Structure formats: C-alpha cells, structure tokens
Structure 1
Amino acid sequence: MILQTGQRTDIPAFYGQWLINRVHQGFVDVRNPYNLLQITRYPINHDVVDGIAFCTKNPLPFIPLLKEINDYRQFWHMTITPYGPDIEPYVPKVDSVIDGFKQISTRLNPQSMVWRYDPIILTHNYTIDFHFESFYNMAKALEGYTDTVVVSFLDIFDKVAQNFPEGFRPSVDVQHNLIKELISIAHSCNMDLKTCGEGDTFKALGANTEGCLTLECYERAWNVSLKAPKRAPARPECNCYLHGDIGAYDSCSHFCRYCYANTNQAAVRHNRMLHDPNSSLLIGPLPKTAIIKESTEKSWIIDTNYKQETLF
C-alpha cells in the first residue's frame, strides 16, 4: 500500500515528529471524519507499506527527519505558488521552499518530485502576466529537479466559499490562454504539465490530463510495478488513486484562503492544542470507547524490475 499523508493536512510542515514516531511504533490510527469513534489502524512496515506519499507547502521542518525514513520509498507533491500573506498567510518564502524541494530531489530522484502550481488565482495583484513571470522563474529554478508540474484553477468548495468569498474561476478563454502559455514554459524547462481535477478540458492544448497522482506516477518514480485494489475516483474529473489518508481535517496552520480542508482558523487552533506527537492519532488521544478496525492492506508491488521510459 501507499501511505498517504497529504489530502487533509500538511504533515511535513507541522507534524513531522509525530509521523516518525508512528513509523517507529509500526502503526498509525486514523479517525473516520464522519464518525470520530471509528478508527482504522494501518500497519507501517516494509511488508505492507510500499512507499510514503507527501503533499506539502513547507518541507523545511521535515528535512532533518528524512534520515529516519531513508529506507522507505517516497513521492512528494510540493506546492510552490507566488502568493503573499493576503492569500497564504503562513507559507514560507518561495526561495526557501524551492531550496527544500531541491534538497529532497537530490536525495531521491526528479521522478519522485512533483511541483504543484495551484490553484491559479487571478486578482488585481495576481494578474495573468504576473503568473507567466512567476511560473517561468520557478520553472527555471526547478529545472532538473523535477520533470512534472501540476496546475489547476480554483475550485469553489463549501469551505472555500466561506473562507475566500471573493475567489472565482476565470472565464474559459482566459483559462485556455493561461494553460497554453504555461505548457510552453514547462516544456522549455523539460517538464510535463499536468492539470488537476480539470478532466480533459486542456488535453487538446497539450496538457497531460491522465491524473496527477496515479499508480503510474509511483511506478515510474520507484521503478516498480503495482497492482492495487480498485478505488472509486474522488470526483468524476479526477483520475488520481487516492485512499486511506492518515491526516485530519482542520489541522493545517498555513491558513491559505483557498483551502478545502479547514473549516476556520478557530477549529485549527483548537485541534493543534490537542495534538500529541506520541499519540497514535494525529489529533487527540485514542478514546477508550474507540472502535478499531485493523486494515487488511498488503503490498501492491508485483515486479521490482519494472522499466518505463521517462516523459522526456
């Protein structure tokens, strides 16, 4: 199985020691977001866990801990966007995150690293030309450290509408013009541009619409062949293989305005106070009345001599 860490919160940025403790203990407990007493217990060992998938905006606090998981395959999605504190209040400066990206890529390989430039938000400050210049500068800085960049436009989920009421998706024409230029820049820096959650909308422009976190991504990065249980897509326009995230909603302190995983800042601060790095759960202690279901996940690797050509 793939241990997923990043659809609900940013574990490398805020909960790195907790994750390392769980690896050492050999298991992790995860609450059902809709039934807090229902717990799934995932084993963490090399017989079951084929690799660990991360999604972060700030890898820097976790880099000193990487030596603790050197023997686990890793796959990183790292969001690096050009917004200021009006949009991303507590995300570090771009140069710092890029430096962290390069450090991890050097330890792994470029195929295990994905740069996310999403969501694309347009305002008076963040204009189309601003995005072209920012994307170009970042792509040049990351050239050779990844061969994949993922982009998307803002999705107005309920929590996004509540926390970012002025957010919107640009017109179809503007979207096409943006994507066309970003594809050109990405290709000039030896990167494949993928779109996230946009279906096949931009396929004719040259975007890769096959999914930004598919089993094939892991296979290419780790040179293995995987056979995983069938899963329903997270949403109709998404081709990614997502399941079993070990994080928790309302626990990320970046406080990005466009976040779909936080209800509000008060809920996050409350949960952060309940966090114990020695607990089997990310937030709070394991309740005595918890109903624990042992995961029956197994290794998905069927061939370690797998070969596949790189994208370029």
Structure 2
Amino acid sequence: MIISASRRTDIPAFYHRWFMNRIRDGFLLTRNPYNANQVRRVSLLPEDVDAIVFWTRNADKLIKYLPELNSYNYYFQYTITGYPKEIEKHLPSTYKSIETFIRLSDIVGPERVIWRYDPILISDITSINEHKRKFAKIANLLRGKTKKVVISFADLYQKTEKNLNSISGLKYHDILAHREELLDLCTYMVGVCKINQLDIETCAEELELQHIGIKQGKCIDDELLNKVFNLDLSSIKDSGQRTECGCIKSIDIGQYNTCLHGCSYCYATFSEAMVKKNKLKHDPDSPFLLGGIDGVDKNLLIEPIFQQSLF
C-alpha cells in the first residue's frame, strides 16, 4: 500500500502535527470526498505501508519529525515555481523555499526530493521569458540536490479560471493552444536540465515531447520506489486517476479545500473562504483530517498492536 500525502492539500506544511499523531497511533480515517458517510480506516503501521509520497511546497515543519519516519520508505514531490504573490499568495519566498528544499535533500538524498515546476501558467506577469529566467535560476540553485524536475501546464478548469479572474488585471492564455510557444519553452527547459544534470518529465499531460527529451512521468512511481527502496511494486496504473496520469495506485489521505497557500491556479481549492472554514474543523488529535469521531463505528477506532522486533 502506498500513501499519497497528498495531491489534495499540503500535509507537510499545514497538517504535519496531525500526520505525525496518526503515524504514532498507527492508523487514520478518511471520508470519501463525494460521500462523507463512507469512512475508511487506513493502517499506517510500517509493515502495511510500502511507501509514502509527500507533496509539498514547504517541508520546513516536517523536517524535525523525519527521524520518526525511519521505519518508512518515502520521497517528496516538492513544488517551487517562484510565481509572484498575486498568483501564489501565502508561500515562503523562492529563496526560502530553495533553502528548505536543499536542507531536506541533504537529509534524505537528492533521489528522494523531486522538484516540481508546475503548473506552468502563461500570463502578462508570468511570460515565456519570465518562465525561462525563473526555471534556469531555480535549476542552477538546486543543482546536485535533486535528480529530476516534473513540469505540467495549467489546466484551465472553470473553478481555476474563476480564481484567476479574481486577480485584478491578470491576462492569461492556454499555452497548449500555442504549439510553437510551447515547444520553444520546453526546448529551453531541456537545455537547462542538461546543464544542471536533471531528468525532465511531464505530469498528466497528453503531450508527446519525447522527441525533444521530455518523458511522460509518474509522480507516484513504481520504478523509482523499486530502485531506491529495493521494492517489487506493480506498474499497474491507478484507474482512479486521469487518463493521462501514469501514477500507480495509492491511497490519498488529504482533503479538498484545506490548503492555505492560496495559489490561484489550484484545482484542489475551490474557494479561500471554504478553506478558512475547514481549517477551523481541524483537530490534530483526530483520526480525521477534518472533524471529530462523533457517530463513527467504534470498531474503526481500535488502536492497532505494533509488531516489535525480537532483535
């Protein structure tokens, strides 16, 4: 079993205390995001968890707890884009993010911290040339601290456009509709990656870019997990994800509308007001990310017995 922590929110940044309490208790409870009455118990015992994949923009507060995770296999998908505050409201500065990334990499190793430069949003304040400048700068500063960068292009869903349209005067467009512009940027990124000894892959994109050196990637990656942790995981794709997604099956323990970074392009946050409301429902001692245990089947709350080594 692989734990995804999480595509839906930033657990290392905002819910690290809750996560570590769940690790110590050996289980957590999740609700079906489309049917809150469906409750699932997820074991977090080391013998039941093949690996944990963390998704974050700020791992600073989780780092001190990493010694408690020594019994687990894990790696990080770590996003740094350097967008202006109009688009990413509550993130640390780019330099602070890079500093934390490097500190994390020095602890767990560069193969286990994957840089994400995504999503790529083209606008009047994040132009092609600005993306080239930022990407090259970040790649240079992260050289030797990661082995791979993952890119994707902003999906302009209705809810995403609603949030982007709330930014006064912002003008943006879909780069996927401009093939020449897309290839220009991607070719430049490939060149930067060669200089900085980085592999480059896409995330959940239909695009065929292998001819310029960009592979279609897997964010929850059996090949990486098998190689780094000597596992033997199946490569069967997670059928619950989008067609373009190459990830293998995992259990996501996050919840929509709980991330406080305030990124205007985020598909997992529908409204900032809802995020603030949900934050008030969070109890770091609860088995749920949001809410308490009233009405929950008591059998789901039985504490597991931890296996202890005889040697």
Name the CA shift for 1:292/1:248 in 2 (closer, same or farther; >3 Å): farther
Name the CA shift for 1:209/1:69 in 2 (closer, same or farther; >3 Å): same
TM-score scaled to structure 1, two decimals? Answer: 0.89
Name the CA shift for 1:234/1:222 in 2 (closer, same or farther; >3 Å): same
CA distance in 2, matches of 1:242, 1:267: 29
Q: Is the 8 A contact 1:75 1:221 kept in 2?
A: no
- Show the counterpart of 1:301: none
> 1:194-235 deviations in whole A, cap 9, x for unaligned?
011212421221101143332112223323322377631511
- Show the counterpart of 1:183: 190
- Spell out structure 1 runs of 4+ moving beyond 6 A: 291-294
Name the CA shift for 1:279/1:233 in 2 (closer, same or farther; >3 Å): closer
Number of aligned residue pairs: 294
TM-score scaled to structure 2, two decimals? Answer: 0.89
Q: Is the 8 A contact 2:22 2:287 kept in 1?
A: yes
Name the CA shift for 1:290/1:187 in 2 (closer, same or farther; >3 Å): farther
Name the CA shift for 1:233/1:210 in 2 (closer, same or farther; >3 Å): farther
Q: Establish whether residue 196 from structure 1 lines up as the match of residue 209 from structure 2.
A: no
Q: Establish whether residue 243 from structure 1 lines up as the match of residue 250 from structure 2.
A: yes
User: What SS does structure 2 have at the residue aligned with 1:226?
Assistant: coil
Counterpart amino acid of residue 283 in structure 1: L
Write the mapping of 1:43-82 to structure 2, written as runs, cut at 5 A. 43-82=43-82
Kindly state the Cα deviation for residue 83 of structure 1 after the two structures are TM-superposed: 0.5
User: What SS does structure 2 have at the residue aligned with 1:274?
Assistant: coil
Q: Establish whether residue 164 from structure 1 lines up as the match of residue 153 from structure 2.
A: no
Name the CA shift for 1:233/1:214 in 2 (closer, same or farther; >3 Å): farther
Name the CA shift for 1:293/1:230 in 2 (closer, same or farther; >3 Å): farther
State, as a whole percentage, how many aligned pairs show the same letter.
34
Unaligned 5+ segments in structure 1 are 295-312
> 1:133-191 deviations in whole A, cap 9, x for unaligned?
11111111111111100011111123212212354312121111101110110121110
Kindly state the Cα deviation for residue 258 of structure 1 after the two structures are TM-superposed: 0.3
Unaligned 5+ segments in structure 2 are 166-170, 302-311
CA distance in 1, matches of 2:39, 2:235: 22
> 1:100-145 deviations in whole A, cap 9, x for unaligned?
1111111112111110001111222222121111111111111111
Kindly state the Cα deviation for residue 289 of structure 1 after the two structures are TM-superposed: 4.8
Q: Is the 8 A contact 1:154 1:167 kept in 2?
A: no
Name the CA shift for 1:246/1:145 in 2 (closer, same or farther; >3 Å): same
Q: Is the 8 A contact 2:237 2:249 kept in 1?
A: no
User: Which moved further from structure 2: 8-17 or 201-210?
Assistant: 201-210
Q: CA RMSD in A?
A: 1.9
2:279 to 272, 280, 292: 272
Q: Establish whether residue 256 from structure 1 lines up as the match of residue 263 from structure 2.
A: yes
Name the CA shift for 1:203/1:228 in 2 (closer, same or farther; >3 Å): closer
Name the CA shift for 1:86/1:215 in 2 (closer, same or farther; >3 Å): same
- Show the counterpart of 1:286: 293
